[in-house]
Amino acid sequence: MKFFEMAQKRESCRNFKPIDVEKEKLIKCIEAARLAPSACNGQPWNFIVAVEPDAVKKTREFVQEIGMNKFTSECRAFIIIYDGSASASATIAGRIKRRDYTQIDTGIAAAHICYAAMDQGLSTCILGWLNEVKIKGYFNIPESKRVHLVIAVGYAEDKPLRNKSRKPMEDILKFV
């Protein structure tokens, strides 16, 4: 599939089939994230892929608190993205410019994961609502690290695509 076709068709899945996701496909998703660009090539990310039934069940609990993300109840794989070690130059540049390049880089890596998943017939939903403390405890992530996102990955039930509602180009683009 060509990129612009993927960009038009990619949507957040909210209707997963209760089907396991092949580890080979998940590895390809992480490979796409590993190849993503990052500030000063810092690569400030780590990934945990939850596929074992207990890990999947706990991850669901951690993203479904207070009734959020209930659509993940049938999802069979989750990718947890948390802090890795950024390069010294990326860390220094971030402090000087008062920018958190780790969050930017994590977003780029997450996009790569989603498009790699789509290319393999999988669907995704990026989840920002999560219980970071419980995720860190269950997956033994050091307290000093941040859990940035969880991506639900699986096979979508067949359904027509929703119409994308986006701002008009003239509202977001300015040539000077």
Contact 156/15 with Cβ under 8 angstroms?
yes
Q: 73-131, pLDDT tens digit by residue? A: 999 999 999 998 777 787 787 788 888 889 999 999 999 999 999 999 999 999 999 99
Quote the strand ranges of 23-169, DSSP E.
45-50, 77-83, 123-127, 147-154
The residue among 148, 153, 151, 80 whose CA lies nearest residue 117 is: 153
Give me the phi and psi of 85, to 5 degrees please.
Answer: -105, 115
Tens-digit pLDDT profile for residues 15-33: 999 999 999 999 999 999 9
Residue 83 phi, psi (nearest 5): -55, 135
Architecture of domain 3-172: 3-Layer(aba) Sandwich (3.40)
DSSP conformation class of 4:
H
Q: What is the pLDDT of residue 23?
A: 98
pLDDT of the residue at 164? 84
Domain boundary assignment for the chain = 3-172
- Average pLDDT on 143-163 reads 91
Distances (CA, A) of 137 to 79, 94, 96, 149: 16, 28, 32, 16
The model scores a pTM over 0.85: yes
| Residues 86/35, Cβ–Cβ less than 8 Å | no
Closest CA to 86 of 148, 158, 10: 148
In this prediction, residue 86 carries a pLDDT of 73
